[in-house]
């Protein structure tokens, strides 16, 4: 028995090369208090800074000449906050431009922020000047991502997480396929509840980001409310459609919305009727509805969304 002929074997390339990479500082929790009067203001952001550029020597040789320390990036976040934050988007653009403009080997990067809101504690019916609480009208988290690709290309993605909404009627679910495993009864009157996570892509950076965020949030809430929902998918589509119709500066919006089921409790064993008054709120498992609404004819944006916490 002879050895197999290996003359036509495929040559395996053993060189290992560096692929896509980025580095920086995560979870930089910044609290900025504006105290230019007796009535203080709070801005609370958690920031991520990650750089792209000529870092080959750092990886291949351990040569740190081009390695801006992550600690420096953290310190820069705090230093920039001294001049104020404003919108998280504008703050991230300013932060990113600093690294790209001041370090010639940094060609771009990704900067992200999550912002939470503090409400004033009411005292005798008036919001206190310098005492706050979480969990009021701003219980959701605002998000922002800025990606600088090169000197002329900057992408901004805004969003929100955990916007909890619920309506007690004007929702149903009928007409779905039924097989041997289907036990869910049809209903024309149910609770519809979800926690909205949404992110939207701008086509410009010349925007009043705070004003647009407030408008989008209002549109999402009003659209969720002001229609009879035949399915959470339909509601999600109408919410995204309303945002794109109202804001030409937004090209695309992505949603992740769990269907937080509320089931009517059978009270008949206790001799009681239950006309949609007492519900069992099931925390898991839950339906998960995710979708993207975009302008017709919009090109491929997958590269923009790469590295952005997203869905679909």
Check residue 151 and give its pLDDT.
Answer: 84
44 carries a ligand binding annotation: no
230 tagged catalytic: no
Check residue 307 and give its pLDDT.
Answer: 80
Residue 5 has pLDDT above 70, yes or no: no
Buried b or exposed e, range 3-24, using 16+ CB within 10 angstroms: eeeeeeeeeeeeeeeeeeeebb
Question: How far from 305 is each of 46, 137, 311, CA to CA, in Å?
Answer: 20, 29, 10
pLDDT bucket at 10, cuts 50 / 70 / 90: low
State the Cα angle at 287 between 168 and 194, rounded to 5°.
Answer: 40
Check residue 76 and give its pLDDT.
Answer: 97
pLDDT bucket at 12, cuts 50 / 70 / 90: low
235 tagged catalytic: no
Q: Catalytic residue, from 25, 52, 74, 147: name it.
A: 25
Q: Among residues 228, 201, 233, which one has the least CA distance to residue 216?
A: 201
233 carries a ligand binding annotation: yes
Give the up-direction half-sphere exposure of residue 27: CA atoms within 13 A in the CB hemisphere. 0
Domains of the chain with CATH codes: 21-151 (3.10.270.10), 159-301 (3.10.270.10)
236 carries a ligand binding annotation: no
| Contact between 110 and 307 (Cβ < 8 Å) | yes
124 carries a ligand binding annotation: no
pLDDT bucket at 134, cuts 50 / 70 / 90: confident
Residue 18 has pLDDT above 60, yes or no: yes
Residue 212 has pLDDT above 70, yes or no: yes
Say if residue 132 is exposed, middle or buried (CB neighbours under 10 Å; 0-12, 13-18, 19+).
middle
Residue 311 has pLDDT above 90, yes or no: no
pTM: 0.89
Residue 283 has pLDDT above 90, yes or no: no
117 tagged catalytic: no
Q: Catalytic residue, from 40, 70, 107, 187: name it.
A: 70
């Amino acid at each position: 028995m002879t050895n197999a002929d290996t003359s036509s074997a495929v040559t395996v390339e053993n060189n290992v090369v560096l692929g896509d990479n980025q580095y920086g500082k995560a979870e930089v929790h910044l609290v900025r208090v504006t105290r230019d009067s007796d009535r203080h203001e709070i801005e609370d952001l958690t920031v991520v800074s990650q750089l792209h550029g000529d870092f080959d020597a750092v990886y291949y040789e351990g040569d740190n000449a081009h390695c801006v320390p992550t600690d420096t990036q953290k310190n820069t976040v705090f230093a920039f906050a001294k001049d104020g934050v404003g919108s998280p988007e504008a703050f991230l653009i300013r932060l990113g431009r600093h690294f790209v403009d001041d370090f010639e080997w940094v060609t771009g990067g990704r900067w992200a922020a999550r912002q939470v809101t503090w409400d004033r504690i009411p005292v005798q019916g008036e919001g206190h000047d310098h005492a706050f609480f979480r969990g009021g009208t701003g219980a959701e988290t605002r998000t922002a991502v800025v990606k600088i690709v090169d000197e002329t290309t900057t992408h901004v993605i805004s969003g929100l997480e955990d916007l909890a909404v619920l309506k007690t009627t004007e929702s149903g679910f009928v007409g779905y396929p039924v097989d041997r495993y289907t036990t869910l009864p049809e209903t024309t009157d149910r609770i519809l509840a979800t926690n909205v996570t949404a992110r939207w892509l701008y086509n410009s950076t010349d925007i009043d980001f705070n004003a647009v965020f407030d408008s989008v949030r209002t549109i999402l809430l009003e659209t969720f409310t002001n229609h009879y929902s035949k399915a959470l998918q339909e509601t999600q589509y109408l919410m995204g459609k309303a945002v794109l119709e109202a804001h030409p500066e937004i090209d695309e919006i992505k949603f992740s919305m769990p269907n937080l089921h509320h089931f009517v409790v059978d009270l008949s064993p206790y001799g009681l009727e239950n006309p949609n008054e007492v519900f069992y709120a099931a925390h898991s498992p839950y339906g998960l509805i995710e979708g993207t609404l975009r302008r017709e004819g919009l090109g491929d944006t997958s590269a923009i969304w790469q590295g952005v916490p997203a869905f679909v």
